[in-house]
Amino acid sequence: MAYDTEFAAGHRIVLEGRDALTVSGVEDVDRFDECEIVMNTAEGTLVVTGEELHIDKLSVDGGELHVNGRVDAISYEDAPAARGGGLFSRILGG
């Protein structure tokens, strides 16, 4: 069973089971490890927690992120994160 939610134009979350996640509208990846991925999206800071999380595919141009691993939670932080210094910024030299 897939859970597909579109929050705003350009921002979409698709979770297939608990082991395949696709997020569009990603503006920047702040930090990531096997237990947590923190990203800035068109709708705010999105935090994905779980186990053995791996970024399978990252589209810098399209702002799409594919994650594999066991997803335990997906949540938005209330306070916006400081911009700049994330993975996209480092790749693009910003």
Q: Are 48 and 21 in contact (CB under 8 A)?
A: yes
Domains defined for the chain, CATH in brackets: 2-92 (2.60.40.2000)
Per-residue pLDDT tens digits of the chain, which is 94 residues long: 555 554 444 789 999 999 999 999 999 999 999 999 999 988 899 999 999 999 999 887 889 999 999 999 999 986 544 545 566 555 655 5
pTM of the model: 0.74
Return the pLDDT at 8: 43
Return the pLDDT at 58: 87
Q: Which residues, 6 or more positions from 61, have their beta carbon under 8 angstroms from its beta carbon? A: none
